[in-house]
Amino acid sequence: LRTAAVPSTRLSRATGFASLGANLLYGVAAEAVSRAVAPSSASGSGPLLATDRNADALSSGLRRMRGAALKLGQMLSVQDESMLPPALARALGSVRGGADVMPRSQLEAQMAAALGTDWRDSFARFDDVPCAAASLGQVHLATLHDGRRAAVKVQYPGVADSIESDLRNLHMLIKLTNFAPPGLFIDEVVRVGRQELVAEVDYQREAESQRTFRRLVAEDPVLRAGGMSVPDVIDGLSRETVLVTEYAPGATVDRAAAELPQEERNRIGREVLRLTITELFRWRFMQTDPNWANFLYDADTATTHLIDFGACRTFDRKFVDGYLRIVWAAAQNDSASLMDASHDMGFLTGDEGDVMLEAHRMSGLTVGEPFQSNEPYDFAASGISKRISGHGAAFMQHRLTPPPSEVYSLHRKLSGAYALCIKLGAVVQCRDLLEEVVEDYVFEDGVTVLERGR
């Protein structure tokens, strides 16, 4: 992990964005000159921004800035990468890997502000070198006085106070460089991102979400039997900018997968899909961050520990009812019902052309493909991500309206679950997981799924 001070004042963050913008514009100008003077040595014929140099500058700048800038970059990175030039897709993909870490002086100041100048007395041991760094904070390992190992998440200085200015600066930068295609509806992405960021910087809210998630998993015998576990929050040491939880042993599930037999990889993939379906359709409460690092697999106990609950959110009953109609129609390969439900939910306006309508129909049916048969579904061999991306590319040119705001976080989670199954090489029987929900699901109007389908 590379150490770099977090720009913590509005002036320093504005200066950082100005520097990033200048670097990108210089790269655009240099590429334009190169294409004019020596076309054979230029980076290609695509957008002037989409060069390896500019991609590296964007990735490095976002990782250095952290906070809302990096978080929004990560949000954009899990949109459909087929809609972006390869260099930019690579750059945004790299920001998912983490951030620079703050120096010891900033760490000391943040911990003292949260727990007092004698904060080290709260721990028997505290590792000053972080084990992970993300967009809003970094994680340190510690030992409590009762012998328990703990994970201490420390928020970067200034990120909470700079959300509005960061988003304005990043929005301006995106507009200036013409980075986002029109069908991405970047204004809506920024609006939704603002809401998520305000929630995520409140670690007390995250602590409450983790307690809720821990309780829900503990109350579900099927998830418990499937090896799902949530570490407890250490209440006496958690504050708005510092969150202390029990340590969860294990390696990130994508790394652990390389050493696991096929049967176990299949089991993990199935349990992740079961959890995702349960979160949405039973609890209507979901952890929406698809980062694989939020699933830690302990090979000694075959336990999957779930961590990082800053991106938890609830879904109202009307939205979940409508979304289940779409999902069940896709699972039934019922195009007419899928399109009707999509219009009802606001995915479509009714004025779309044939290209957009077909792209939406095929995208929905492709997403539902794992649930269309009782046969085990081979996620890696199916090419499902590439096919969804192919349909989604039409959205960027022909979409007339942004999707419902709930979809931004939900689809991040769903795409993450599919991507994890692909990474695992999992072959999973999926349809029965959805049928278990459908069998006893009652819509808000009192009608069951099966009754509505008659």
| Residue 134: both structure tokens together | 């993300």
Nearest-5° angle of CA 330, CA 181, CA 314? 50
Looking at 80, 166, 289, 308, which residue is catalytic?
Answer: 289
Residues 173 and 169: their CA atoms lie apart, in Å, by: 6
The CA distances from residue 230 to 63, 271, 272, in Å, are: 29, 14, 14
Question: How distant is the alpha carbon of residue 158 from its chain centre?
Answer: 22
Question: Cα-atom radius of gyration of the chain, to the nearest Å?
Answer: 23
Beta bridge partners of 126: 142
Contacts of 452 (CB under 8 A, 6+ apart): 325, 443
- Tokens 């076309």 belong to residue: 39
| Residue 252: both structure tokens together | 């990130």
Residues 238 and 115: their CA atoms lie apart, in Å, by: 9
Q: Where are the beta strands (DSSP E) in 51-202?
A: 125-126, 132-133, 137-143, 149-155
| Residue 314: both structure tokens together | 């609830």
User: How many CA atoms does the CB half-sphere of 14 hold within 13 Å?
Assistant: 7
Question: How distant is the alpha carbon of residue 30 from its chain centre?
Answer: 34
Burial of 140 (0-12, 13-18, 19+ CB in 10 A): buried
Q: Is the dihedral of CA 143, 97, 181, 177 positive or negative?
A: positive
406-424 and 384-392 are packed helices; what angle lies between their axes, rounded to 10 degrees? 150
202 a catalytic residue = no
Q: Which residues are catalytic?
A: 289
